[in-house]
Amino acid sequence: MILSLQSFSQSNFSSEISQKAEAIQSKLVEWPRYIHQHPELSNREYKTAEFVAEHLKALGIEVKTGVAKTGVVGILRGAKPGPVIALRSDMDALPIKERVDLPFKSTVTAEYLGQTVPVMHACGHDSHIAMLLGTAEVLSSMKNQLSGTVKFIFQPAEEGPPGDEEGGAPLMVKEGVMDNPKVDVVFGMHIESNIEIGRIEYKPGAFMASSDWFTIKIKGKGAHGSKPWAGVDPIAISSEIIAGLQQIVSRQMELTKAPVVITVGKINGGVRNNIIPEECTLDGTIRTLDSKMQKEVWERIKTTATKIAEASGATADVTISTKTLVTYNDTALVRMMVPSLIKATNGNTAQREWVTGSEDFSYYGEKAPAFFFYFGGMPKGNDPYRAPDHHTADFYIDDSMLNVGVKAFCNLVFDYPALAHGSKEKDKKKKGF
């Protein structure tokens, strides 16, 4: 009888959540379009933070600003006792010139690493902000029915802080965002341009890859371009190293266990057509979904680069650093909370395979059980294989169903306290307490 009453109560909450989320759909279009027209780069989200803080304060939510430089944290305390649930949105844009002809197209430029660059929300963070603001609006209106505390995390620099600056989730965690009050569970979502609007996709366990960045500096011997035998050509050696790195992926790693990606994204060497330079530098990224494979890839990259260079009479210096961890979804939490997402989407929810993209949301998962999922933003009927990708000038999101993302977050917040309590009671019975 208690369980059926609990189920009935949760069903009522879900119905009320749905009505309230749909009622603010116009705001869920207005907000991201405004933010889209006023994008800001990582660690420079000053106006975006002001916009967020102003809206949270208007809802009566406790607000802390200046967290991890430009981050905003809102705290909503429910009328009933319960856990602390964190919800996260990122806020930064990218140095990309927008090509999509929209009424709210970005024409903003900003300074990035000493250069003036165009700025665009080319990863959907503007829609993330809107959905979390919408969630705050719905939950604050249901405060008297809410069990526990909700912590709204609006995070800067998810795309990575510029230069040698600190930022993003690691700095948020370092500055105590998961404490005071201590977070019991954390949820996050990412809109996707190749998943149809209104659909949620998820994966238990390892979901998104770790991201490591590497630099390989090849030092040879300069010479005239007409006499390569008089020098040691670091550009030619670089091409051999690039090919060797792909041999690591295709011939040395057990890809049936987990995917591995090694990408060289930048090559810098030489100043003139007819001069063989002394040095050439390769910069790239590594994506892995298994910690043992990650360590092995690091060692193989170092061996491959140094030995290929050595064979030609050059030297190669390899440095590798971790940017994000594997985004890991707590399996028990996923199993418990998927029904909440199914309610929010009217059944349009499915499990998917892992992703070689990365997310610094992974750092929150080191402090509390975490669940990160994808939310669709592709117009209905479009081909997902032709949809413009994230981090491109043609990136586009259909904002007509952002209320479904609000419903997802709100259902998770209302369902988790009762489900977590029920899970603890079952554990007690199993242990004979």
Catalytic residue numbers read 92, 158
Beta bridge partners of residue 380, listed in sequence order: none
* Alpha-carbon torsion, ordered 138, 144, 146, 147, to 10 deg: 160
Q: Cα(97)–Cα(91) distance, rounded to whole angstroms?
A: 18
Reading the block at residue 3, the tokens are 């369980």
Pairwise CA distance, residues 120 & 113, whole Å: 16
**Cα–Cα distance list, 347 to 21, 57, 342, 372 (Å):** 17, 34, 5, 18
Q: Which two tokens stand for residue 346?
A: 């009217």
Distance CA 333, CA 318 (A): 39
Helices in 258-330 by DSSP H: which ranges? 291-311
**68, 72, 47, 64: which is closest to 166 by C-alpha?**
68
Cβ atoms 156, 91 nearer than 8 A: yes
Q: Give dist(CA 136, CA 56) in Å, integer.
A: 7
Give the C-alpha separation, 372 to 367, whole Å: 14
Helix (H) or strand (E) segment spanning residue 134: helix 125-141
